[in-house]
Amino acid sequence: MNLDKAKKRIAKQVNKGFNGYPMITLAYYGSSKDCATEVVVQFTMAEGEPAQEERFSCDTEIRESELIQTTVLKIIERANVNSVMEVEGVTVR
């Protein structure tokens, strides 16, 4: 799948806002605010339940990786979630 198409489809899901559970949360991490090298995808079935977590990382900007963005999109689509939330910006580690 095309990188731009995957990013737009993820953004469309995020822009819908919170619509209940199950929910996926996306959080980006990196060594600086300008470059995310890791994404954490958390799946929460219901409020108060522990989240299942999957991590992906690479050496370059992960938000520009077609493979990673396509994988994240497939996780969202196959999980059949009601909400997709994204933590704003890049968290520095």
pLDDT digits 0-9 by tens, 31-49: 999 999 999 999 999 999 9
How confident is the model at residue 54, as a pLDDT?
97
Q: How buried is 9 (Cβ within 10 angstroms: 0-12 exposed, 13-18 middle, 19+ buried)?
A: middle
DSSP assignments along 12-35, one per residue: HHHHT----SSEEEEEEEESBTTB
* Low-confidence stretches of the chain (pLDDT beneath 50): none
Q: Parse the chain into domains and list their residue ranges.
A: 3-92
User: Could you tell me which of 27, 26, 37, 89 has the C-alpha nearest to residue 65?
Assistant: 37
How confident is the model at residue 93, as a pLDDT?
86
* Alpha carbons 33 and 89: distance in angstroms, whole number: 7
Residue ranges of E strands in the chain: 23-30, 38-44, 52-57, 83-92
